[in-house]
Structure 1
Amino acid sequence: MAQIIFNPLVGVELPSTQEIRSDLGSRIQQAFQTSPTDPLLNIEPSSPMGQVLDLIVAEIEAKNSEILFLSNMVNPDLATGKFLDALAALYGLDRKISEPTVVNCVLTGLKGTVIPYGAIAQDSLGNQYRHSAAAGARIGDTGSVTTTFTAIEHGPLEVAAGAVNRIVTTIAGWDTINNPAAGVVGRDEETDAELRNRMVESYAVNATGYVEAIEANLAALEGVLDVRVLENPTNAVITQFGVSINPHSILVAIVGGEDEQIAQTIYQRKDAGCGTTGTYQVSFTDSRFYNATYVYNIVRPQNQALNVKIEFFATSMNPTEKNNVIQAVINDVLGQGSNDRVSLASTVYASRFYAAIQSATAVPVASIQVALGSGAFGSSVQIPANVEPTIQESDVSLVFQTGG
């Protein structure tokens, strides 16, 4: 008998179309046979009753598919949409809303001028950005200061190097603004893949002292686009992902997020006596205990372009297809495909882009190489902990073979 089997080892097992048709067909033939000597009812697909049988089988298969879908929706590895949201809620997680683009800008002007939180600047396309350093930024002895601005509009807004160049909020002593590197592109609402990955990381959320716990809690903060926590439990300075970490200290490299919330999270999750490494300071004042202020050193990564070079076994490609390939690579870097977002303190392998590229074009790929900034191209590249990789259309180059 063709029936649904609930196998505790593999889950729901559905009968095949042929099994359903054969089982149901034999039952119909038995029902219409009034005596053992009567011929069996014709249920061939070309017969009227055969067509009726096929319609019934199609309805059964549709209902079986619905049952399979619902059973998959209680599996965190397969659930999507609102079903995944419901499972995430069991972990104490909510799907992250969209986040704005973050860009590091160099401000110049009179020494000692303070650029307050919330000051507005604008790029060449008219998009506006808000100064997001909670404590403001003070122009130093050199006549400049580097600080962070975030786009007012949320979502994956690309901002090229040098695009943020207009001051909207007039402040005496503030003369110019410019971004030496492209911004860290924001994102739309958290994808299923990103939420599923955060569910795995959330196992450490309730712990303290572990780098996994610190990182998971920092990643959950509003406005955080990327974060990595490294540790050095030894008695000597060590280097990880291009950054030196002091003895018995952690290094928090984080993009986005409010300074005070970051400091509060470190205060709550870091073990007492463990130092912090970095050139940027954040502080938290505990009003419950005599307004004690805790200052932590962190790293605010600088943006650097991730370059991707793709060579094809072809002499040319039409403009639409070229654009599709470039956009597929950008989406893959931003985690909008099957791969996780390319993040700081990680190794990027060129092979990760094959699937994305071949989904955008049928032209065979000869090779893919990656590079960071002005570095040499290769099959892989390491992203330092103090660098946030960015990408825009000009960072993706397509190479075609010459004729012959």
Structure 2
Amino acid sequence: MADYRYINNKGVIVPDTAALRKEVEDEFRTVFGQSINLSPETPQGVLATMEIENRDAIVRNNAELANQINPDIAGGIFLDAIWALMGGERINATHSYLSNVEFMGVPGTIIPKGSQALTINGAVFETLTSLIIADTGKITGDMRAKEYGPITCGIGQLNKVASSVLGWEKVNNTTHAIIGRYAESDIKARRRRKQTLAKNTISVAQAITSSLYELAGVNSLSFRENFTDKTLTIDGIYLLPHSIYVCVEGGDSHEIANVLLRTKTIGAAFNGDIEINLLEPASGQAYPVKFSRPKEVTIFCKVTVKKSSFDAQTIIPDALEKWSHGEIEGDNGLVVGRDVSPFEISAAVNAVEPHLFVTKVELSTDGKNWHVALIPIAINQIARLPKGAIQVVMV
């Protein structure tokens, strides 16, 4: 049987299958005699090869299963179980919701729960309860997207009745949809587990960032601390004496403020352009909690690749979209304060499709002036790389 060994610097268990073929062939010769012909083209050779492949599959499966004890490699329910030991959990998928949707038609018409309407893009929304159209010919109610994920619907874009409900004639949404999300992927879950290791502590920098990353909707952040008794400018940010500065992407502002008040060191001041007044339950004292939101910097990207049989015009924009969202293993994506590097963009393309030969990556902040240098991003900024801002040039 194959041996198992560790890759010491990573703690990964890998099977050593080098001796499997010799092992199986020796067994065949012991049973059928030393003169048996085990060439791959013979029937007995095919049987021996099949046995080798079966054993190889088993030992590789065992190695993969053994690796699930390592939280840096684990996935699926194994990762969920390890994370649960620390009180953490994966962010579940949610639906998009529409509130105060107008349903119009014949008065007295009953619109059953689960009745459907379509957006101009074909997304399906369904009613959450049964509705009865009032004497005015209209009733308002809430709807939910049928599928999980970030399904968008702007004002007035829900305009087609999809269910056959006699008397229900029109539908219209007067508000934007509250956007849902997909379930957190293994890649993002493993990353967030590391980012929240200190969520049960307070006062230190990792405790503050861990508790912030635990909040729903928080994607990235930057943190700085002035531990001196003098006013300092750190990375371009003005910090009061003995104070902290946090710039947070995503999340509810009041939840962020509550976390900062709970986890920061007693006596430390806040910095930032957003101020939320909170009452400390233990003392009854009011605190003006400050933090910042990142300013978005739109990046334009031009990728030059050699012609090949691969559909580079589709692969590259998709790859860079995944990269910017942090969906490539080993890379956090475009987070708060991260510079944009042409070399990292090239690496992201090759991580998704190694057969594409990238010859040059050019960047721009206005879509006119292009260069191959790194674009610096301040700690109170975040780079955005829209899919429509990516050009692919074939040479």
In the superposition, the TM-score normalised over structure 2's length comes to 0.70
1:188 aligns with 2:187: no
Distance 1:201 1:322 in 2: 35
Distance 2:122 2:215 in 1: 28
Distance 2:394 2:377 in 1: 28
Extract unaligned runs of 5+ from structure 1.
Answer: 34-38, 102-122, 128-151, 171-176, 178-184
Distance 2:310 2:29 in 1: 60
Residue of structure 2 equivalent to 1:227: 221
Can you list the C-alpha shifts for 1:185-234, whole angstroms capped at 9, x where unaligned? 98632222222222222332233222221111111101223322211223
Q: Would the alpha carbon gap of residues 14 and 218 (structure 1) be closer, same or farther in structure 2, given more than 3 Å must change?
A: closer
Can you list the C-alpha shifts for 1:351-383, whole angstroms capped at 9, x where unaligned? 111133344585532321334468874421222
Q: In structure 2, the residue corresponding to 1:231 is in which secondary structure? A: strand
Q: Would the alpha carbon gap of residues 268 and 383 (structure 1) be closer, same or farther in structure 2, given more than 3 Å must change?
A: same
Quick check: 1:97–1:189 contact (8 Å CA) kept in 2?
A: yes
Residue of structure 2 equivalent to 1:78: 73
Residue of structure 1 equivalent to 2:299: 306
Quick check: 1:4–1:12 contact (8 Å CA) kept in 2?
A: no
Distance 1:61 1:235 in 2: 64
What is the Cα deviation at residue 15 of structure 1?
4.0
Runs of 4+ residues over 6 Å off in structure 1:
123-127, 163-166
Q: In structure 1, the residue corresponding to 2:211 is in which secondary structure? A: helix
1:295 aligns with 2:288: yes
Can you list the C-alpha shifts for 1:120-147, whole angstroms capped at 9, x where unaligned? xxx99899xxxxxxxxxxxxxxxxxxxx
1:333 maps to amino acid? S
Extract unaligned runs of 5+ from structure 2.
Answer: 97-118, 124-143, 158-172
What is the Cα deviation at residue 13 of structure 1?
5.2
Q: Would the alpha carbon gap of residues 395 and 44 (structure 1) be closer, same or farther in structure 2, given more than 3 Å must change?
A: closer
Residue 327 of structure 2 is aligned with which of 320, 328, 336?
336
Distance 1:245 1:124 in 2: 48
Q: Would the alpha carbon gap of residues 62 and 364 (structure 1) be closer, same or farther in structure 2, given more than 3 Å must change?
A: closer
Q: Would the alpha carbon gap of residues 255 and 342 (structure 1) be closer, same or farther in structure 2, given more than 3 Å must change?
A: same
1:302 maps to amino acid? K
Distance 1:376 1:100 in 2: 40
1:197 aligns with 2:188: no
Q: Would the alpha carbon gap of residues 318 and 164 (structure 1) be closer, same or farther in structure 2, given more than 3 Å must change?
A: farther
Residue of structure 1 equivalent to 2:339: 347
Quick check: 2:4–2:63 contact (8 Å CA) kept in 1?
A: no
Residue of structure 2 equivalent to 1:326: 317
Residue of structure 1 equivalent to 2:348: 356
How many residue pairs get matched? 330
What is the Cα deviation at residue 11 of structure 1?
6.0
Q: Would the alpha carbon gap of residues 98 and 264 (structure 1) be closer, same or farther in structure 2, given more than 3 Å must change?
A: same
What is the Cα deviation at residue 93 of structure 1?
1.6
What is the Cα deviation at residue 313 of structure 1?
5.0
What is the Cα deviation at residue 158 of structure 1?
8.4
Q: Would the alpha carbon gap of residues 364 and 190 (structure 1) be closer, same or farther in structure 2, given more than 3 Å must change?
A: same
Residue of structure 2 equivalent to 1:368: 361
Quick check: 2:198–2:207 contact (8 Å CA) kept in 1?
A: yes
Q: Would the alpha carbon gap of residues 219 and 100 (structure 1) be closer, same or farther in structure 2, given more than 3 Å must change?
A: farther
2:2 maps to amino acid? Q
Residue of structure 2 equivalent to 1:133: none
Quick check: 1:308–1:368 contact (8 Å CA) kept in 2?
A: yes
What is the Cα deviation at residue 271 of structure 1?
0.4
1:95 aligns with 2:90: yes
Q: Would the alpha carbon gap of residues 380 and 126 (structure 1) be closer, same or farther in structure 2, given more than 3 Å must change?
A: farther
How big is the alpha-carbon RMSD for the aligned residues of Structure 1 and Structure 2? 3.8
1:51 aligns with 2:71: no
Q: Would the alpha carbon gap of residues 396 and 49 (structure 1) be closer, same or farther in structure 2, given more than 3 Å must change?
A: closer
Q: Would the alpha carbon gap of residues 87 and 369 (structure 1) be closer, same or farther in structure 2, given more than 3 Å must change?
A: farther
Distance 2:305 2:25 in 1: 53
Residue of structure 2 equivalent to 1:22: 22
Distance 1:8 1:265 in 2: 39
Residue of structure 2 equivalent to 1:248: 242
Quick check: 2:299–2:364 contact (8 Å CA) kept in 1?
A: yes
What is the Cα deviation at residue 289 of structure 1?
3.9
